[in-house]
Structure 1
Amino acid sequence: MKDVYITRISKFLPNDPIDNDQMEERLGFIDGKVSKGRRIVLRNNQIKTRYYAIDNDGNITHNNAQLTKEAIELLCDESFTAENIELLSCGTGSPDQILPSHAAMVHGFLKNGNVEINSPSGACCSGMSALKFGYLAIKSGQNTNAVCTGSERASSWMKSDVFKNEIEHLKKLEETPILAFNKDFLRWMLSDGAGAFLLEDQPNGNLPLKIEWMDAYSYAYEIEACMYAGGDKLENGELKPWSEYPSEEWAQKSLFAIKQDVKLLSENILTKAVETLVKVFEKHDDIKPEDITYYLPHISSYYFKDDLYEAMKNSGVEIPWENWFINLSKVGNVGAGSIYIVLEELVNTGKLKKGDKILLSVPESSRFSYSVALLTVC
């Protein structure tokens, strides 16, 4: 088996950062009214700025595949060009269309010759799944390099016009035309952007990061869906997909908006995260929590940070505060791209030194999946 190294990292964040006072104007007011939930959600998540692929006039500037293509091109130079890529593995929770796949669309924009492509589906963990595919391909000797990405273009799913028909339908029914909180919640949580890693079977570059292992766990067998799009949740907890609704109800129910069962999220996201970390440290008993130099948890909100730390401490997997590295407040929650973007920032701090251990931890609330990876600075 080959060793696998992350040798280059890049990110692409579209346009200028958007602060909290600008975001509703950029996404649009629903029924011309200010959201009642916005300030509550923002106060809890403590995100200060985020990025949207939308310009000042409300025009879309990039789709998801274009964001990803931009991040990949930032990996390249004269010594490694896009034509040198052997495998392209692209994860996202917000593809531009159902078919073709996200990676196929990215490849179409790159125009870099014949390569193998892979498009893991899902939400936040799809970026880690993309990374694991590239990692295993190189480790097994199938490829000598791979470009892996995580990206989101969630803003187009959160614009006010997505909900226009639903609000008009509620008015006809003489119901109060207020957007349900499970839909409004994520409008103030998500951000656009893309990150990319170059993986190679040799420790090239300055301070390459060796991928020691990657593990993933799903709890979908015991918990119902929590974050979803392209369907609606029934009273029994099951999801009814868009394809089983009459087409006129797709807009009336905002079926393609991203929705979050906030109660289910708060009940499970931390307990399962810590349960996963306990499993990881039991499996890899040659590494202890105190050996981790930098802990990079992908958290959707600073609301969870203190409770996560306490739960880790109570379960014997405490990693000291000073070893945590998070950039949520500056870039927002970029879903599948977040772990790429935060690692890029850590690398560019110049603080890393040989032998440092970096633990990547990514939860996915769609139906509670978790992915963890250990890196060593070489």
Structure 2
Amino acid sequence: MKDVYITRTSKFLPNDPVDNEEMEERLGIVNGKTSKARRVVLRNNQIKTRYYALNDKGEITHNNAQLTKEAIQLLCDEGFTVENIQLLSCGTGSPDQILPSHAAMVHGFLKNGNLEINSPSGACCSGMNALKYGYLAIKSGQNTNAVCTGSERASSWMKSNIFENEIEHLKKLEETPILAFNKDFLRWMLSDGAGAFLLEDQPNGDIPLKIEWMEGYSYAGEIEACMYAGGDKLDTGLLKSWSEYPSEQWAQKSLFAIKQDVKLLAENILVKGVDSLKKTLEKHNVKPEDITYYLPHISSYYFKENLYQEMKNNDIEIPWENWFMNLKKVGNIGAASIYIMLEELVTSGNLKKGDKILLSVPESARFSYTYAYLTVC
């Protein structure tokens, strides 16, 4: 089995950063009234700026595949071009279409000859699953390099026009035309962007990072869906697919909007996260004091203190000074967040040989967790 190294990192954040007061102008106002949930959600998540693939008129500037293509091109130079890529593995929770796959669309924009592609589906963990596919392909000797990506273009799913038909339908029924909190909540949480890693079987580059191991856990066998799109949640907890509804109800129910069961999130995301973290550290005999940098993807600073306390309760406390986060500046970019976080750490100039980095990514869709442990070479 070969060693695997992250030898290059890149990110692409579209347009200018958008502050909290500009958000609703970019995404649009629903039913002519500003959101009552916006300030509460922003106060809790503490995000100050984020990026949208929308211009100041709310017009789309990039689709998801284009964002990903831009990040990949930023990996490349004369020493490594897009034509040198052997494997393209692209994860996202917000693909531009159901078919073709996200990686196929990215490959279409790259136009770099024939190569293997892989498109993990899901939410935040899809970016890490894309990384694991590339990691295993190189480790097994099938490839000597792979480009792995995480990306999101959630803004187009959150624009006000997505909810216009639902609001009009409620008016006709003489019901209060207000957007449900499980939909409005995520409008103030999610951002756009893409990150990319080049993986190789040799420690090339200025700061190569050896991938020691990767682990994943799912709790879907215990817990119902929490974050979802393309369907609606029944009282039984089951999801009913968009394909089982008459087409006129797709817009009336905003079936393609991203929704979140906030109560279910609060009850499970930290408990299961620390449970899976403890499992993976014990499996690989890693102690908290071994970790130089802990990179947790969290959706909101609301969870930070409680996550630390839960870790402390389970005797796996990682000291605050070892945490590295950039949520306040770039927002929650789902599958891309961990890529962009690591890229910022790598380019910070603070890493030194022998440092250990733990990547930690939760996914609230149905409570999955993925981890990667890296050594600076």
> What TM-score, normalized by structure 1, do the two folds share?
0.99
| Residue aligned with 1:77, SS | coil
Taking the aligned partners of 1:283 and 1:372, their CA distance within structure 2 comes to: 12
In the alignment, is residue 111 of structure 1 matched against residue 114 of structure 2?
no
Distance, in Å, in 2 between the alignment partners of 1:110 and 1:234 is 41
Deviation at 1:59, TM superposition (A): 1.0
Alignment partner, residue 91 of structure 1: 91
SS at match of 2:104: helix
SS of the counterpart of 1:103? Answer: helix
Q: Which residue of 2 aligns with 1:132?
A: 132
TM superposition shift of 1:214: 0.2
Q: For residue 28 of structure 1, what is the aligned residue in structure 2?
A: 28
Which structure 1 residue ranges, 5 or more long, are not aligned? none
**Map 1:58-97 → 2, pairs under 5 A:** 58-97=58-97
Deviation at 1:57, TM superposition (A): 1.4
Equivalence for 2:291: 292
1:201 corresponds in structure 2 to: 201
Distance 1:2 1:246 in 2: 52
**Structure 2 counterpart of 1:163:** 163
- AA of the residue aligned to 1:6: I
The Cα shift of 1:215 comes to 0.1
Q: What residue is the counterpart of 1:253 in the other structure?
A: 253
Cα displacement string for residues 204-251 of structure 1 (whole angstroms, at most 9, x for unaligned residues): 011200000000000000000000000000001110000000000000
Q: Which residue of 2 aligns with 1:305?
A: 304
Deviations, residues 323-369 of structure 1 (Å, cap 9, x unaligned): 00000000000000000000000011100000000000000000000
- Quote the residue 2:361 is aligned against: 362
1:203 Cα offset (Å): 0.1
Partner of 1:4: 4
After superposition, the C-alpha distances for 1:43-86 in whole angstroms (9 at most, x for unaligned) are 00000000000001111000000000000000000000000000
How many residues were matched structurally? 377
Shift in Å, 1:281: 1.3
1:178: how far off?
0.3
Q: What percentage of aligned pairs have identical amino acids? A: 83
TM-score, structure 2 as length reference: 1.00
* Aligned partner of residue 117 in structure 2, secondary structure: strand
User: What is the aligned partner in structure 2 of residue 339 from structure 1?
Assistant: 338
The amino acid across from 1:304 in the alignment is: F
Gaps of 5+ in 2: none
Deviation of 1:304 (Å): 0.2
Quote how far apart the aligned CAs of 1:282 are.
1.3
In structure 2, distance between residues paired with 1:255 and 1:59: 22
5 Å-filtered alignment, 1:28-67, equals 28-67=28-67
The DSSP-based 3-state class of the residue aligned with 1:163 is helix
4+ aligned runs moved over 4 Å, structure 1? none
Distance 1:281 1:52 in 2: 36
Aligned to 2:17: 17
- 2 CA distance for matches of 1:22 and 1:367? 31
Amino acid at match of 1:168: E
Measured in 1, the distance between the counterparts of 2:56 and 2:267 equals 38
Partner of residue 143, structure 1: 143
Secondary structure in structure 2 of the residue aligned to 1:146? strand
Report the residue type matching 2:196 in the other structure: A
Structure 1 residue 15: deviation in Å? 0.1
1:329 equivalenced with 2:328 (yes/no): yes
